[in-house]
Structure 1
Amino acid sequence: MSDKTSPPRTPPWHARPGARAWRCAPAPAQVREFHAALPGHTLTPLTELPSLADELGIGRVFVKDESDRLGLPAFKALGASWAVHRVLAARAADAPGPQGQGRDPVTLVTATDGNHGRAVARTARRLGQRAHVFVPQGVHPQAVAAIAAERARVTEVPGPYDEAVRRAAEAATAPDAVLVQDTAWRGYEQVPAWIVEGYSTLCAEVDDQLAAAGVPDGPGLVCVPVGVGSLAQAVVTHYRSRPSGRAAALLSVEPETAACVLLSLTRGALVGVPTGDTIMAGLNCGTPSSLAWPYLRDGLDAAVAVTDAGSARAVADLAALGVSSGPCGAAALAGLRAALTGAGAAQRRTALGLGPASVVVLLSTEGAAANPGTALNGS
């Protein structure tokens, strides 16, 4: 493990009592069946790391390792594949004329900090469609090149993620184009909802893998990295749709430079924040998804923000334990450490309902290959 390089500090934090009592409808059951039928589909690992449990004074720690999901180094292929499937099915149903007419290839348009755009581009290529991906300032050139290697048209935007989203939405108004964006706003909610449904497969896998590891009642805490909040919405939906049994505590983790969910929870209303530079590029989002917000507001137990140094330390520590994780994926471990150590840790443990026998699942949403060129010193 890496040595601590700074004294304990109180992290940016917000807790909401009563979240574990909130309930919502579950995701469609057929999503997991759809993914299981895709070429190259395999279960991603759930790896137990006893040394982390010892370090943090809890019972067991598991990491859901999304470093190779459907041939890509991140979980995003789950949402992109299901959403594009639904988009193309809807267009086929609406196509005029006899079977086979009115179904020319479409251009799937999206904005991305890297992983989502590559997943949309890969899905488009596999299905014989086109892709146009808008990339904001600050995304590493090798990540941009990886998207282009999927035969996508790439437009680099001299501005932040929210500006790239705006540009993508404009481009998607062209004939034979459709926006496949993982953030929602008023009037654009159906496709983001399908993307969220796609992520439910990850949570269902965790249930089965925990049961096989002797944890049939599920985790006591799930730590989920958050950008616009779509994965967190899927996690909340999964764990808050259970009719009975022990409810898991849910903790969202963001960069301190882009803690839009944390600030929204603190203020009790959806707000945006200006974003800065961070090695957690995929989490560098200034505005939560309007579709995700009600789920995050009512279903998250707590939110915490972490530094680049904390994420970089987590990347190195996970690598030493055999788990490939980029800064966004490792943010889950950084967030757990921030919550359970330092000034005020006892109160944060109580808010999360954690004790010495608790089981924690960290969602490592990307592998190291998803962030080429990232410096581990946080620079």
Structure 2
Amino acid sequence: MPELVSTPRALPLTTWSARPGSRNAWRCEPAPVEVRDFHAALPDYAPTPLTELPALARELEVGRVFVKDESSRLGLPAFKALGASWAVRRILAERPAAADGADPEPVTLVTATDGNHGRAVARVARLLGQRAHVFVPRGVHPRAVSAITAEQAKVTQVAGPYDEAVRLAAERAGRADAVLVQDTGWPGYERIPAWIVEGYSTLCAEIDEQLTAAGVAAGPGLVAVPVGVGSLAQAVVTHYRSRPSGQAPALLSVEPMAAACVLESLTRDAPVSITTGDTAMAGLNCGTPSSIAWPHLRNGLDAAVAVSDPEAARAAATLAELGVSSGPCGAAGLAGLRALLDTPENGRWRTALGLGPSSVVVLLSTEGAAANPHSAQEAAG
């Protein structure tokens, strides 16, 4: 990975806002339509719920609030299997057949993870008769590591942070029998991360269909998405910024205060690496934005905010009370929107995000409580 600017100083705990009108000024190409068809053909595929929560609409003073509940996706408690399955399918399709026409020898799929992505790669590898080697940084709960091991993957635990685990995984994947399946990109390694981002587009396509079924033909007015390296946010930006001008919702990214690399990059208007701290939002504990995500985040986001562990824990508890299982990462979107609106600048942010009494808000809950072994009490403490 490239060495970017290190910023070990305290991160700004303020929000960042895009240029006025930017959501209608920048456009990109959509994701391939065949991704959804691929996922729909998988044996365990079913759209995850889009749950309406009127109590949150009243609290946030908007028209309707929906939560995309990724607590059970293709047999796993997070959305990551969408990207891993599509990327591995593309990787294996490019492998040459053996000279005698037999199936190629199994390949080792190598990745670094804070939990969910590594488990998804390991699951796909096991189902397809391949091998998996997963590098896990410090701070990942032992139960999350055990869940990866249960998928018959080899696990290497790293004493350093996520970025160090990515570096070591890339070194291991340099061998002839292995391929790196990483959900972050850097110069020279961008094709496979782009396939992973494409895989996430199915989530957005489902939201379109589910909102239409709920009587929201115009789509959402705001989408809040938790962010680690920015790959899911890139997929969300791609989906909504590939639409005609005038049909684009506001897009809000939410990160932990301990690992707000996207917020810091937006503040500096350039991608930077930061020194991360400890956080219960383990899946978002990333110090460097993905190189392929950065242009989409810079040009396509309306706002970004960092939240504390207690704020994420309170949001997860709220969702649980309303019947949605969500870990601290998944609840970050609600925590971020609350953080913006519960300030003296409430009116400014409502105006910037176009929020009014008839607005439709979609919160992406990217993992269930079972995906993150940290309890709400641990996150709050």
TM category (shorter chain) comes to over 0.9
Counterpart of 1:190?
191
**What residue is the counterpart of 1:16 in the other structure?**
18
Residues in 1 aligned to 2:101 and 2:346: alpha-carbon distance in whole angstroms: 62
- How many percent of aligned residue pairs carry the same amino acid? 73
- How far residue 245 of structure 1 moved from its aligned partner, in angstroms, is 4.3
- Provide the C-alpha distance between the structure 1 equivalents of 2:173 and 2:344, rounded to a whole number of angstroms: 48
The equivalent position to 1:89 in structure 2, one of 85, 93, 97, is: 93
* 1:11–1:339 CA contact under 8 A, matched in 2: no
Q: 1:5 matched to which residue of 2? A: none
Task: Say if 1:220 and 1:360, in contact at 8 Å, map to a contact too.
Answer: yes
Q: State the secondary structure of the residue aligned to 2:132.
A: strand
Return closer, same or farther for 1:216/1:164 CA change in 2, 3 Å cut-off.
same
Q: How far apart are the structure 1 equivalents of 2:22 and 2:320? A: 33
Paired with 2:374 and 2:180, the residues of 1 have a C-alpha distance of 29
Q: Does 1:305 align with 2:306?
A: yes
Shift of 1:244: 4.3
After superposition, residues 230-309 of structure 1 pair within 5 angstroms as 230-309=231-310
Matched to 1:14, the amino acid is W
Mapped pair 1:129 → 2:130: yes
Match of 2:46, as an amino acid? T
Q: Offset of 1:246 from its aligned partner?
A: 2.2
Match in the other structure for 2:4: none
Secondary structure (helix, strand or coil) at the match of 2:138 reads coil
Q: Does 1:44 align with 2:48?
A: yes
One-letter code of the match for 2:371?
A
| Residues in 1 aligned to 2:344 and 2:284: alpha-carbon distance in whole angstroms | 25
Q: Supply the RMSD in Å over aligned alpha carbons.
A: 1.2
Question: Residue 6 of structure 1 aligns with which residue?
Answer: none
Offset from partner CA, 1:38-61 (integer Å, 9 cap, x none): 111111000000000101111100
- Name the CA distance, whole Å, in 2 between partners of 1:12 and 1:67: 30
Q: Work out whether residues 262 and 305 of structure 1, in 8 Å CA contact, stay in contact via their aligned partners in 2.
A: yes
Residue 38 of structure 2 aligns to a residue in which SS?
A: helix
Deviation at 1:349, TM superposition (A): 1.1
* Structure-1 residue corresponding to 2:102: 100
Unaligned 5+ runs, structure 1: 1-9
- Give the SS at the match of 1:327: coil
The letter for the 2-side match of 1:264 is S
Amino acid at match of 1:13: T
In the alignment, the residues of structure 2 paired with residue 195 and residue 141 of structure 1 have an alpha-carbon distance, to the nearest angstrom, of 26
What is the TM-score of this pair, normalised by structure 1?
A: 0.95
The residue number in structure 2 matching 1:151 is: 152
Aligned positions of 1:310-321 closer than 5 A: 310-321=311-322
Q: Give 1:378 shift.
A: 2.3
Q: Tell me, what secondary structure is at the counterpart of 1:277?
A: coil
Provide, for residues 339-361 of structure 1, a one-character-per-residue CA deviation record: whole Å limited to 9, x for no partner: 22212111111111111110000
Answer whether contact 1:306 1:331 (CA < 8 A) is retained: yes
Secondary structure class of the residue paired with 1:362: strand
What is the distance in 2 between the residues matched to 1:354 and 1:322? 25
Q: Any idea what the Cα deviations from partners look like across 1:295-329, whole Å, max 9, x if unmatched?
A: 00000011011011100000101000000000000
Distance 1:151 1:52 in 2: 41
Q: 1:361 corresponds to which residue?
A: 362
Q: 2:80 aligns with which of 62, 76, 81?
A: 76
Structure 1 contact 279–327 (Cα < 8 Å) conserved? yes
SS at match of 1:28: coil
AA partner of residue 85 (structure 2): S
Does the 8 Å CA contact 2:280/2:374 hold for their aligned counterparts? no
Per-residue CA deviation, residues 182-219 of structure 1 (Å, 9 max, x unaligned), is 00001000000000000000000000000000101100
Q: How many residues end up aligned between the 2 structures?
A: 367
Cα distance between partner residues in 2 of 1:327 and 1:226? 12
Partner of 1:177: 178
Please state how far the C-alpha of 1:176 moved relative to its aligned partner: 1.2
Q: Give the TM-score of the pair, scaled to structure 2.
A: 0.94
2:143–2:373 Cα contact (<8 Å) kept: yes
SS in 1 for 2:94: helix
Structure 1 residue 11 displacement after superposition: 5.3
Distance 1:287 1:85 in 2: 27
Q: Name the aligned partner's letter for residue 19 of structure 1.
A: S
User: 2-side partners of 1:347 and 1:373: how far apart?
Assistant: 34
Q: 2:62 aligns with which of 58, 62, 79?
A: 58
**Counterpart amino acid of residue 65 in structure 1:** D
> 1:99/1:245 Cα in 2 relative to 1: closer, same or farther (>3 Å)?
farther
Q: Are the equivalent residues in 2 in contact too, given 1:11–1:338 (CA < 8 A)?
A: no
The match for 2:227 is 226
